[in-house]
Amino acid sequence: MSTLPDQARTVIIGGGIVGCSTAYHLAKEGETDVVVLERGKLTCGSTFHAAGLVGQLRSNANITRLLKYSVELYERLEAETGLNSGWSRVGGLRLACNRERLTELKRGVTTARSFGVEVQMLSAAEAQKLWPMMATDGVMGAAFFPNDGHAQPSDLTQALAKGARQQGARILEDTPVKQIHTDGAGHVTGVETEHGTIRCERLVLCTGQWTREIGRGIGIDVPLHPMQHQYMVTEAVEGIERGIPTLRDPDGLVYFKEEVGGLVMGGYERSPLPWATDGIPPNFQFSLLDPDYEQFEPLIESGMERVPALQNAGVRQLINGPESFTPDGNFILGPAPEMHNVYVGAGFNAYGIAAGGGAGWALAAWIAGGEQPMDLGPVDIRRFGPPHRSEPWLRRRTVEETGKHYTISWPGEEHESARPARVSPVYERLRDAGACFGEKMGWERANWFATDGEAAEDRYTFGWPNWADAVAREHTACREGVALFDQSSFSKFVVSGPDAADAMAWICANKVAKGPGAVTYTQMLNPRGGIECDLTVSQIADDRFYVVTGTGAITHDFDWIKRSIPAGWDARIDDVTSAYGVLSLMGPSARDVLQQVTDDPVDGESFPFSTWRTLQIGGARVCALRVTYVGELGWELHIPMENVLPVFDALQAAGEPHGLTLAGYRAIESMRLEKGFRAWGSDVTPDETPLEAGLRFAVKLKSNTDFQGRAAIERQQREGIRKRFAIFTVDDPSVVLHGRETIYRDGEPVGYLTSAGYGHTIGAPIGFGYVHNDAGVDLEYLRAGTYELEVAMDRVPCTLHTRPLYDPEFARVKS
């Protein structure tokens, strides 16, 4: 072991592929004062036993970019370091063995092309030419990704480690960490090892399945759980050609790669087994679990059906190696919200080799630059929240998600495990009324309501879903009468203190300090001008603001606001989500219903749009916000949790003569698409600015007030934008849009849909997306083109719109 330095700017714990990749890329960024601490030898955790398949396509464009970068890095690494990385670009085949899987595969091909991934759609016979030993029984089609491949994980990691050392990073093996030191104020100050203590400015945890346990020791929650993952290594198989593509048969739950003339065959059972439920054993290095032939037997049978030659193949080894999986199937990157200077890179769901290069680059750029280099929301550790801190909840959900690794990814699919975890006071009322619930951040939320003769259950499809008629009923009721939504799962914060107004002026792109009673829609921007938060701010007092944001944004937005308050300013943020329920009363008759349950005036003059008032309803003090996300007259009623049920009953009783309808989140989605309202995380992300997103009206550029991101927005306003938000409709109502369909302008691909659905008032499929052009995009450019959408590889004509589709109603709502 080399001598332990007294201090380093960055300490990385973990010498697997992600830790070494992060060190390599930090050094490339010029951050050479980096020390990697590995308790044993490099790769001794999970890396050494990884199967090593490298695929590029994921459902998110930026995560796909990371995987594409991995391939590019692995291609050049040997020339740079002189070490063979074991990388083989042999291509990858993915099969479809039923009609729904074929639709998913075609949609995946469309997505791949949108994201810049090379792919070819093949027939079963064409696929067999690439993989002659494959039986084509049941194969309806295949996708071939020529730039996919496989790698030798240990060789690849050693090459990254050498590259890191060449740039000045230090890697110390046989250096177990005994304790992480903190200052009690949210900062790690150093790391104590068996060979001494090293002080540091930043700590990076790349410790695989150990990360949850290590994080707990300093108050950080990392939601992952070890799962058993098995694959079989055969002796040489007659007929197997060297260099054949990797092969995935998700309907058979199996994958294959060639290795020294034999095969590696593994898979993902529908009922996978968790491991280390009582903790990981000490000194678990270069260690495997006992093979579980009974568990693996169904995969062997499936593998033999696809590759009959396996029936006569000798088995060298059945490897059972634990891997860390997460409750949503995506890996974990980014700054831990509980600490100021700790970053995490872990939970790679058995594709750490595929993601390792790109994830290491992204994490290093995040650390060195102080912000994510692009939108990494799907893997950002801040996507998790309260339920993920529960070990039983986490284990059940992770088992379910791992069991879905190779199942079809259905539009609108909900998890079934670990439910219910969080319910609003009206949960039972909604259930008894026929609610079909979805779940987000542990909250049970009514998606739609079944009536007589309908089962309150989702039946998944890529076509017209079984809940479409119910959503149409709720949508129409809200547009023409009045609907009541339970939105208690909203995340809610209070920002307060003597400097709260100044802090919010700095953090918010819009002017929010307009005086008590004002409600303002605003974004919060990063220094690049990208949209980090999209929310409403109500000014309660001169020094107190009530912030309402999305259910899934609770950890991210809380952390963003907290970190954005300038040092030394007297302002604080408190999470009050569980203190208040929210009932949203929306529709042309909403005022008539609301006036019946309160003596306070709610007419347009007394209670204008974008304001809040305190109303007395049934003995409860209710904070009513006159805002809308559906494009109708309405109020969000924020109610102390103990009063939610009485207020709900009062509204239902008052609404009965007006035909009040209970409605769910899928109706909200349909109506917000018609109104052109963006959704954070899909339509607006840190990669889009307000100018690109068509939200210039929500930015206070005319004021003299500085705010975070202002300089970037002003620069963009001078130089012009290269992408612009647009709305698309398809004339053929039989076309079903789900998002990620490719946008074509005059026959050339220019972007993809960020979200999509069906507008039940306008009677057409709707999609949102961005049109890209390096030479600039203005309204004239948008309107000059002829547009098509590629839907599961089929081109369909569409119409571009630059204004909301349901515009006339908004004038009435604002009156």
Written in H, E and C, the secondary structure of 755-789 is: EEEEECCCCEEEEEEEEECCCCCCHHHHHHCCEEE
User: What distance in Å separates the CA atoms of residue 783 and residue 768, rounded to the nearest whole number?
Assistant: 15
Instruction: Give me the mean pLDDT over the 20-37 stretch.
Output: 97
Whether the pLDDT of residue 226 is over 90: the answer is yes
Pairing status of strand 572-575 against strand 491-496: antiparallel
| Nearest of 424, 452, 509 to residue 701 by alpha carbon | 509
pLDDT at 811: 37
Whether the pLDDT of residue 807 is over 90: the answer is no
Are 7-85+151-225+328-383 and 580-659 in the same CATH fold? Answer: no
- Please state the domain extents for the chain: 7-85+151-225+328-383, 580-659
Question: Can you tell me which residue has the tokens 């951050």?
Answer: 31
Q: Which amino acid is at 464?
A: W
User: What distance in Å separates the CA atoms of residue 813 and residue 815, rounded to the nearest whole number?
Assistant: 6
Share of the chain above pLDDT 90, in %: 97
Query: What spatial distance separates the first Cα and last Cα of the chain, rounded to whole Å?
Result: 74
Share of the chain above pLDDT 70, in %: 99
Which two tokens mark 40?
């044993």
Which two tokens mark 438?
């979805």
Mean pLDDT of the chain: 96
Whether the pLDDT of residue 814 is over 70: the answer is no
Which two tokens mark 469?
């008629």
Q: Are 765 and 717 in contact (CB under 8 A)?
A: no
Sequence length of the chain is: 815
Whether the pLDDT of residue 808 is over 60: the answer is no
Helices 17-28 and 352-369 cross at an angle (nearest 10°) of 40
| Nearest of 764, 760, 742, 759 to residue 751 by alpha carbon | 742
User: What distance in Å separates the CA atoms of residue 199 and residue 300, rounded to the nearest whole number?
Assistant: 50
Instruction: Give me the mean pLDDT over the 126-153 stretch.
Output: 97
| Nearest of 738, 747, 807 to residue 766 by alpha carbon | 738
453: confidence class by pLDDT, cuts 50, 70, 90? confident
Query: pLDDT digits over 229-283, tens only?
Result: 999 999 999 999 999 999 999 999 999 999 999 999 999 999 999 999 999 999 9
Full-model pTM: 0.97
Residues 6+ positions from 795 with CB-CB distance below 8 Å: 744, 788, 789
Query: pLDDT digits over 743-784, tens only?
Result: 999 999 999 999 999 999 999 999 999 999 999 999 999 999
Q: Which class is domain 7-85+151-225+328-383?
A: alpha beta
Q: What are phi and psi of 255, to 5 degrees?
A: -135, 160
Q: Are 250 and 407 in contact (CB under 8 A)?
A: yes
pLDDT at 813: 36
User: What distance in Å separates the CA atoms of residue 596 and residue 576, rounded to the nearest whole number?
Assistant: 29
Residue 47's Cα: distance from chain center in Å?
25
Pairing status of strand 620-625 against strand 531-541: unpaired
129: confidence class by pLDDT, cuts 50, 70, 90? very high
User: What distance in Å separates the CA atoms of residue 485 and residue 669, rounded to the nearest whole number?
Assistant: 12
With H, G, I as helix, E, B as strand and everything else as coil, classify residue 584.
strand
Q: What are phi and psi of 223, to 5 degrees?
A: -75, 90
Structure-derived torsion over alpha carbons of residues 473, 476, 480, 486, reported in degrees to the nearest 10? 70
Query: pLDDT digits over 635-682, tens only?
Result: 999 999 999 999 999 999 999 999 999 999 999 999 999 999 999 999
DSSP for residue 306? H
User: What distance in Å separates the CA atoms of residue 58 and residue 578, rounded to the nearest whole number?
Assistant: 34
Pairing status of strand 246-249 against strand 92-96: parallel
With H, G, I as helix, E, B as strand and everything else as coil, classify residue 723.
strand
User: What distance in Å separates the CA atoms of residue 431 and residue 659, rounded to the nearest whole number?
Assistant: 19
Query: pLDDT digits over 90-115, tens only?
Result: 999 999 999 999 999 999 999 999 99
| Nearest of 334, 332, 344 to residue 369 by alpha carbon | 334
Q: Which amino acid is at 378?
A: P
**Any idea which fold 580-659 has?**
Gyrase A; domain 2 (3.30.1360)
Query: pLDDT digits over 399-423, tens only?
Result: 999 999 999 999 999 999 999 999 9
pLDDT at 618: 85
pLDDT at 1: 54
